[in-house]
Amino acid sequence: MYETARKKYQAWGIDTEQAIKKCGDIPVSLHCWQGDDVMGFEQGSGGASGGIQTTGNYPGRARNGKELMADLEFAYSLIPGKKRLNLHAIYAISDTPVERDAIEPRHFDPWLEWAARRGIDLDFNPTLFSHPRASDGLTLSHPDKAVRDFWIRHVKACRRIAAYLGEKQGTPCLNNIWIPDGLKNPPADRLTPRIRLRDSLDEIFLVKYDKRHIIDAAESKVFGIGLESYTVGSSEFYLGYAATRGINVLLDSGHFHPTELVSDKIPAMLAFFEKVPLHVTRAVRWDSDHVVLFEDETKEIACEIIRNKAEDRVLIGLDYFDASINRIAAWVTGTRNMQKALLNALLIPHDDLKALQDAGNFTKLLVMQEELKTLPLGAVWEEYLARQGIAAGWYAAVEQYERDVLQKR
């Protein structure tokens, strides 16, 4: 089947061998938080709160570092290609409780060692939610200076950790700041909280690190759960902030109005920013965080990366947390769908299509775009998996793991 597929693509001027090779080299950063419903390892953690929420009670959630690492290890074995791991500050490993503003690089040494042995590099996120000091939905924009200062210290500690991880692993560590700050009901003042957020960030970024070790980013959002009427860290806010301060904006595909598309935003950002970090996720009606599917927007996001030759500039990360299904299947399905979309994008003759657009031959462009949709991608994908040493029928292995490991928790 692969041989037939190879010839079909060849007729379109596409080299499947090259696509297969390239696909395995594009890193996708897996979010550790799908494995434990964004609970983290802090004592007394009651789960995600502050603008986000996990729903579902499927058995087998990872309850500690050992279980999370074991589950990740198993998930990684079912996923082809180059992988990174995206951590949050609440996954610090410590025998004694450490406050968020006191975490240190050493609390992430166990992760660093675990990842290094598997050839995986790390990304990082400060955690400005699920905490008593964020219980009113405000952190870096809080009217109380003491609360702001606490979170400023936290993000500073996180940047230090990220720079440390980046230096140790030899590739830059993305440090992505997302804050829930917002209001449930109509605000009386939209500007002052944004000025406070701007000033908090300015204080955070006073500390300079080597860009070879850390990539600084902030993630905007249209609204949060329980904070529906106003978001301090909106898209325009961070765009302005990042453009004037030399940091990057992370685009989460679930953080915009339903008809806005991140696939269209990627090339807009590429015109101005060196790096474009992503949280690929699936929005459903009013919120994000569903398992990534192999659907039109996922494919289009991949196309914008590949057709602009931006594999080194767009940092692909995932962000969803589904607790209603087997969490390992959720990781594997979403990651593979992103990778399948990349392979699909690598099998499209982008230069020919661009030439048709520039020549104004819109009829042929439309016809070709539609014809390409039914080429035998599946056969090339299966060949890719086989060459990556990934066995077919992976879900049976997940069912086995569920019986042997997850159900015993």
CA dihedral (51, 56, 57, 61) in degrees, to 10, reads -60
Nearest to 312 by CA among 252, 270, 344: 270
Contact at 8 Å (CB) between 254 and 288? yes
Q: Is 252 a catalytic residue?
A: yes
Q: For strand 214-219 and strand 173-177, is the pairing parallel, antiparallel, or unpaired? A: parallel
Residue in the shown chain whose Cβ atom is closest to ligand RNT: 178
Query: Among residues 142, 221, 265, 299, which one is catalytic?
Result: 221
Minimum separation from the CB atom of position 66 to ligand RNT (A)? 21
Distance of alpha carbon 385 from alpha carbon 389, whole angstroms: 6
The CA R_g of the chain, rounded to the nearest whole Å, is 21
Query: Among residues 131, 279, 299, 340, which one is catalytic?
Result: 279
Of the CA atoms within 13 Å of residue 172, those in its CB half-sphere come to 16
Minimum separation from the CB atom of position 271 to ligand RNT (A)? 24
Q: Is 279 a catalytic residue?
A: yes
Minimum separation from the CB atom of position 250 to Zn ion (A)? 7
Minimum separation from the CB atom of position 231 to Zn ion (A)? 13
Indicate which of Zn ion, ligand RNT, none lies near residue 331 (CB less than 5 to 8 Å, by partner kind).
Answer: none
Indicate which of ligand RNT, Zn ion, none lies near residue 385 (CB less than 5 to 8 Å, by partner kind).
Answer: none
Q: For strand 182-183 and strand 248-252, is the pairing parallel, antiparallel, or unpaired? A: unpaired
Indicate which of ligand RNT, Zn ion, none lies near residue 85 (CB less than 5 to 8 Å, by partner kind).
Answer: none
| Of 90 and 306, CB closest to ligand RNT | 90
Degrees, nearest 5: CA angle 399-405-407: 75
* 181, two tokens: 């700050």
| Strand spans (E) along 281-371 | 282-284, 287-290, 314-318
Q: Is 88 a catalytic residue?
A: no
Indicate which of ligand RNT, Zn ion, none lies near residue 221 (CB less than 5 to 8 Å, by partner kind).
Answer: ligand RNT
Under DSSP, the state recorded for 34 is G
Indicate which of Zn ion, ligand RNT, none lies near residue 297 (CB less than 5 to 8 Å, by partner kind).
Answer: none
Of the CA atoms within 13 Å of residue 25, those in its CB half-sphere come to 10
Chain-centroid distance of CA 312 in Å reads 15
Indicate which of Zn ion, ligand RNT, none lies near residue 125 (CB less than 5 to 8 Å, by partner kind).
Answer: ligand RNT
Minimum separation from the CB atom of position 217 to ligand RNT (A)? 11
Query: Among residues 42, 71, 216, 252, which one is catalytic?
Result: 252
Q: For strand 182-183 and strand 230-231, is the pairing parallel, antiparallel, or unpaired? A: antiparallel
Q: Is 289 a catalytic residue?
A: yes
Minimum separation from the CB atom of position 269 to ligand RNT (A)? 17
| Of 133 and 221, CB closest to ligand RNT | 221
What residue ranges bind Zn ion (CB under 5 A)?
252, 279, 319
| Of 208 and 285, CB closest to Zn ion | 285
Residues 6+ away with beta carbon under 8 Å from 401: 74, 328
What residue ranges bind ligand RNT (CB under 6 A)?
33, 38, 52, 125, 178, 219, 221, 252, 279, 319
Q: Is 31 a catalytic residue?
A: no
Q: Which residues are catalytic?
A: 178, 219, 221, 252, 255, 279, 287, 289, 319
